[in-house]
Amino acid sequence: MRSPFELSGPNQPPRAGGKPRHLVVLLHGFGSDGNDLIGLAPHWAAVLPDTEFVSPNAPFPCEMGGFGHQWFSFGDRDPQAILAGTKAAANILNAFLDEALASRGLTDRELALVGFSQGTMMALYVALRRPQAVAAVVGYSGALVGAETLAAEIQSRPPVLLVHGDADTMVPVSELARAATALKEAGVAVTVELRPGLPHSIDERGLTLGGQFIARGFAGQSAAGEAAAKAK
């Protein structure tokens, strides 16, 4: 029987066919599931033709009931409780990422993380603390958890794109500036896109920017890998 902590969810194989050369892992928001963000894959397949998209369900049933999932509880809004929940879920997500990469013969340089809302919190927390940098992180409508410990805990500095609507009533738009400031102070290259009139959602502009950002991240890692190989 599958353990509840062995993540699973929908995936879309590479549009070009064959083995994936890259992997994009999509991390959904609170109360949703992997079927939500896998819908981004068809939009990005044209610019990422050799990429597999995987959208795992978060490990815990949503505390609000229904059929959704959560990465951690929002029942206690205390920052320390949220940090503790993020850390616990990070262990589960890291194990999933390690297995997903190993089973495909890929490394972190061929991986990108995309999150929405609570999924963005997970993507940022995990990516910055993995020993090897992933190719890119794209976060929609999210926030940075653990900013106060980031300087001491950061292990890699992947490029980050943060997109947030200024009409978001679920995650305050002030979290965008807060996250960007903390990331820049930690030496992370961060790109920010504020979307006018956008609520807690992803619009066409954000979708386009996300796909382009991931493609550049993969291209940059590929070029760096080739340069390193030539230098040996």
Per-residue pLDDT band for 232 (boundaries 50, 70, 90) equals: low
DSSP helix/strand/coil, 231: helix
Rounded alpha-carbon distances, angstroms, from residue 159 to 42, 113, 124, 195, 202:
23, 11, 11, 20, 20
Nearest to 107 by CA among 133, 138, 126, 137: 133
Please, what are the domains in the chain? 11-231 (3.40.50.1820)
The per-residue pLDDT for 104 is: 98
The per-residue pLDDT for 1 is: 32
Q: What is the mean pLDDT of the chain?
A: 94
DSSP-derived letter for residue 135 is: S
Average pLDDT value for residue range 192-220: 98
Residue 50 tokens read as 């050799």
Cα–Cα distance for residue pair 20/143, rounded to 1 Å: 30
Cα–Cα distance for residue pair 128/137, rounded to 1 Å: 9
Query: For the whole model, what pTM was predicted?
Result: 0.94
Q: Are 44 and 53 in contact (CB under 8 A)?
A: yes
DSSP-derived letter for residue 178 is: H
Q: What is the pairing mode between strands 111-116 and 22-27?
A: parallel
Average pLDDT value for residue range 36-57: 97
Cα–Cα distance for residue pair 19/10, rounded to 1 Å: 17
Task: Examine the pLDDT at 229 and tell me if it is beyond 60.
Answer: no
Catalytic residues: 117, 168, 200
The per-residue pLDDT for 5 is: 64
Q: What is the pairing mode between strands 111-116 and 69-70?
A: unpaired
What is the percent of the chain where pLDDT is above 70?
A: 93
